[in-house]
Chain A
Amino acid sequence: MQSYLLSEFIVERREDRCIHCRVCERQCANEVHLYDAELDRFFSSEKDCVGCQRCVTLCPTDALYVRPRLEDYRPNSSWTRDKMQNLKKQAATGGVVLTGSGNDKPFRVYWDHLLLNASQVTNPSIDPLREPMELQTFLGRKPDTLKIEFSDGKAKLGSELYPNVMLQIPLVFSAMSLGAISYPAFKSLAMAAKEAGVLFNTGEGGLPVEMRDEYADCAIVQCASGRFGVDLDYLNCARIIEIKIGQGAKPGIGGHLPGEKVSDYIAQTRMIPRGTDALSPAPQHDIYSIEDLSMLIYALKEATNYTKPVSVKIAAVHNVAAIASGIVRAGADIVAIDGIRGGTGAAPLATRDNVGIPMELALASVDKRLRDEGIRNKCSVIAAGGIRSSADAIKAIALGADAVYIGTAALVAMGCTLCQKCYTGKCNWGICTQNPFLTKRLNPELTSQRLLNLLRGWGHEIQEMLGGLGVNAIESLRANREHLRGVGLEEWELNVLGVKGAGE
């Protein structure tokens, strides 16, 4: 059925610059650019363009411009172009409208309404170039008290410690599964994490056996509702095990990796037959309550002989603080909270844009609740979903996070332009695709360097800001809301965040 859809982008070619090298034609998996040799000219099939800017970036003479086509319907604040296009798409197909990446709606981004403090006169700021500045962070349960024993004039730790995992910088690559992203993208994350002394998260698509020797030591492996690739070897090789309950981009729903993306290799790491849909049910069917969650947490601890922290990842939803308290009481060592701006490889648009709450509010209320209940030390909190810069990360830590997950930021570092078409499997940047012609565009050696640069850059920025605050360890900033002030926020928002207004 004809869809009546208008193109989303205008593709413009400046003929005076174009040298007919046909790079654009080769680069576009959506087959927008077509060269007619007989006429010696290009045609473009604009309606297929997703605006990924691959051709624009690679054009050697800057001859291409790809711009959103925004104003063709009569302007209407209620019936926006997006809404109308989706209606037309659905009328033609009867399907659920899919999308990729994170929520792009203009919900308030609280990071942009929070400001950090700095030392002036009354206490000195610290220069991180001259003085040590500690970013090391430990993920896992901490004891209630520390017992120190003295004998022969020597002090010894008397309390038994729980398994903890050290991060050099409080940044962790968030869960992106092999299958959702390509092998080179997956490998790049692993390589960068290893080099930087942080962790990457395998998502629920398993960890290829040949990567385990080298990278399992910096891997968080997921146990999700599909239980793909989960066996004792997988669980025991990793540093941390994460139970995935929910994801910020699609709270409450499962995932379908369509059969055509389940290649031999994907099938092997997920341990399923090739070409079948990899269906992850919405709930984990052995978890219908906090007690059931506890059962799985301890099943994983039993399976790994209590040597690894177990994390539970949930989407930020309305009662997130109470849920997080339950999760800690169920025995989790880490609680990861993924806010409404968290990314995804594929999610129904309606869910992505309308379900969940912003992570900033969720994080602040979880941290407060756990403190009030005296159980904050029993878990680490990782904040995820829409951390765009080192400033967001440091504000998250001041709001109570131990570390932050970065997903979209890492993808952008690898080349992603947030075209939101990850679900089509035609990512021209070679990230969200299994097409070998596209995946070979990423070279893990180089891409991991980009990621490493990102981590290093953020690390330095965080050190600078900490120095400015006059503290010399990230630990001193954690949940220290005195270092934050809000601007342009309502009373209730300041209350939930637990910060004062600027000037107060």
Chain B
Amino acid sequence: MNGFNVKFGYRDNFLDNLQPIDILYKTRVNIDGCRATINALGLKHKELNDLLRETVQRGSKELVINNVFGQRYIGTRLYLPSEDKLYIEVNKFPGNDLGTFLNGHRIVVQGNAQDGVGNTMDSGEIIVHGRAGDVTAMSMRGGKIFIRDNVGYRTAIHMKEYRDKVPVLVVGGTAQDFLGEYMAGGMVLLLGLNLQEGEPHRAHYIGTGMHGGVIYLRGYVSEHQLGKEVGVRPLDDQDKENIDCYVREYCNHFGGNPEEILNGSFQKLVPVSLRPYGQIYAY
């Protein structure tokens, strides 16, 4: 693009000056059997994702991406006719929208993730050895996300479920405001492992407008931190089983002693109505 006739300047950070895929493939990829090691240093969002797609189309099933610094949408463009599910290791810091619309692949991040992890994800697994930013698991419909440390604001907003697809988000640390807002299904498990003894979670407006799904919280929240549409309920056996299962899975990923974690006190938050706004209209 030549910027011809452009008064106010127009630069496309995504599409301008991209390197051709064959050059990228030649210079950035190391193949070892079905494993490809990719050097992402300095690549633009689209360049890296072009490269990932190309590498998979040439037969790699395991992608190890090194030197990732802020490239977005890793995993999104890997929707391919083949049924094979990929293993993607991201070393260092992926950019926004990691695994957006993810369809069955498994992504492991050795570092912190940014905003929009697992946005509208359909299936698969994302494991982050670090923290994640805002809108984690937004509108997620299936699959699992494990975040070792904290998550940001508006986590699990409008998470939903559908038939056998029940999304699960496990967070080792705590979350910021609006956790589970408008949540319509799925499960969030917030472990609060980095809180001090007796220190409450910080989030406010937890579960505002929630009309489905469940949030399990380890540790404390006060009444005023909860949205009007959620109620605190005691755990039943099914809940205990869920928590047990996912705490163990969390410890498998990140270490830690499951018994110790399970010893903490858990609360269950569920919507008080499936139709929180059914009564506000005059017909």
Contacts and interface: CB of A to CB of B under 8 A. Distances in A.
Contacts of A227: 120, 139, 158, 160
B274 A302 contact: no
A299 B141 contact: no
Contact of B138 (A232, A286, A331): A286
A479 interface: no
B10 A98 contact: no
B211 A303 contact: no
B2 interface: yes
Contacts of A298: 14, 45, 72-73
B102 to A, nearest CB: 9
Contacts of B23: none
Interface in A309-335: 329, 331
Given A93-B282, A272-B162, A329-B10, A286 B2 contact: no
Nearest to B160: A272
A163 to B, nearest CB: 12
Interface string B1-43: 1111111101010100000000000000000000000000000
A303 B100 contact: yes
Nearest to A373: B8
Contacts of B72: 295, 298-299, 302
A226 interface: yes
A299 B117 CA distance: 12
Interface string B253-283: 0000000000000000000001111111111
A227 B120 CA distance: 7
A424 B283 CA distance: 7
A132 interface: no
Interface in B113-148: 115-116, 119-120, 122, 135, 138-139, 141
Interface in B74-133: 76-77, 79, 96-97, 100-101, 103, 115-116, 119-120, 122
Contacts of B281: 95-98
A372 B7 contact: yes
A299 B6 contact: no
Contact of B141 (A271, A277, A286): A271
A158 interface: no
Given A272-B160, A285-B138, A295 B7 contact: no
B273 to A, nearest CB: 9
Contact of A299 (B5, B100, B165): B100
Contacts of B120: 227, 230-231
Contacts of A277: 211, 274-278
Nearest to A285: B157
Greatest chain B CB density within 10 A among A96, A271, A372 is at: A271
Contacts of B122: 231-232
Interface in A132-179: 143-145
Interface stretch (B58-66, B179-187, B190-198): B179-187
A307 to B, nearest CB: 11
A236 B162 CA distance: 20
A80 interface: no
B53 interface: yes
Nearest to A348: B281
A303 to B, nearest CB: 5
Interface of B: 1-8, 10, 12, 14, 45-46, 49, 53, 72-73, 76-77, 79, 96-97, 100-101, 103, 115-116, 119-120, 122, 135, 138-139, 141, 154, 157-158, 160-162, 165, 181-182, 184-185, 209, 211-212, 274-283
16 contacts: A95-B280, A97-B281, A144-B3, A144-B5, A227-B139, A227-B160, A230-B120, A235-B101, A272-B162, A277-B277, A279-B184, A281-B181, A286-B116, A295-B116, A302-B76, A303-B101
Given A226-B158, A329-B10, 5 more contacts: A98-B282, A226-B139, A273-B161, A331-B12, A374-B7
Per CB-CB distance, the 9 closest pairs between chain A and chain B, nearest first, are A95-B282, A227-B139, A93-B282, A271-B162, A232-B79, A302-B73, A374-B6, A302-B76, A231-B122
